[in-house]
A and B are shown apart, each in its own frame.
Chain A
Amino acid sequence: MTYLGAKDKDTVKAFWGKVSAKAEDIGQDALSRMLVVYPQTKTYFAHWQDLSPGSAPVKKHGATIMAGVGDAVSKIDDLTAGLLNLSELHAFTLRVDPANFKILAHNILVVLAIRLPSDFTPEVHVAIDKFLAAVARALSEKYR
């Protein structure tokens, strides 16, 4: 399910070249959507003053998340090792239920479709979906 072949990796890296310039914006939009469309995810951000789309904390955190995803692209050949610290953070400190990784991934895909409609072909979609699932799996490694 999360095995990334050579072709998948090439597709992800090539597509990411087009994404990286808009990464912060995409991250902010994806996070905003997640909080609106899946209100249960707001429970992780009770400490923020403002959870509305485009608010300061949402913008900042969206950028942080996408920087992490971009970093994962560069470590695509060994996500488990590359994301070790992030996995420990999510497992022991943040304790985000891993089901939410899927939810955020879906919203990233929606934003990619909106921002790059002609580049986000079905072939690119499947490679990115597999990649985000592999990232989620690497992030869940340390949970138990």
Chain B
Amino acid sequence: MVEWTEQERTIITTIFSNLDYEDVGPKALARCLIVYPWTQRYFASFGNLYNAEAIKTNPNIAAHGTKVLHGLDRAVKNLDNIKATYAELSVLHSEKLHVDPDNFKLLADCLTIVIAAKLGSAFTPETQAAFQKFLAVVVSALGRQYH
């Protein structure tokens, strides 16, 4: 059972309430596909991923990045119950999408970097700690139903 302090809850909900999903989502996913090119294996049907420019301007990737980021909303609204909240999504990623759960951490790291760039010095060490803790719990929950 994850324990959250009041400060951590505030940090996490504040980040998401001020988030530009259509900007951050696409940037995080594109960065993941560029920095960790093997992750492109899951997007063979998404069109041109030939180079960084193509990835950054690919509308399918942009749409998917926004979708993935909105997927985190449920965790933000259910901080005390992330494992149960994501049970179905975990099964989906395992049984249908066949995503190696190690990839969740790679995307989480890219999301951290994009948020850091957006918030600048407001992304203090404490903010970073709370945000990374949140992502670690999400990543763990998404990997939970794999067998």
Residues of A within 8 A of B (CB): 32-33, 36-37, 53, 106, 109-110, 113-114, 117, 120, 122-123, 125-126, 129
Contacts and interface: CB of A to CB of B under 8 A. Distances in A.
B125 A122 contact: no
Contact of A33 (B120, B121, B125): B125
Interface string B97-129: 000000000000100111011111101011011
A113 B113 contact: yes
A53 B127 CA distance: 13
Given A110-B112, A129-B35, 7 more contacts: A32-B125, A36-B129, A110-B128, A117-B117, A117-B118, A122-B31, A122-B55
Q: Place the interface of chain B in its size category.
A: 20 to 34
Contact of A122 (B52, B116, B118): B52
Majority DSSP secondary structure for residues of A touching B: helix
Given A110-B112, A114-B116, A114-B121, A126 B128 contact: no
Contact of A106 (B52, B109, B129): B109
A123 B34 contact: yes
B5 to A, nearest CB: 14
B118 to A, nearest CB: 8
Contacts of A123: 34, 52
Contact of B56 (A33, A114, A122): A122
A36 B128 contact: yes
Contacts of B62: none
A106 B121 CA distance: 17
Q: Which of A33, A114, A126 has the most CB of B within 10 A?
A: A114
Given A106-B109, A122-B52, A125-B35, A114 B117 contact: yes
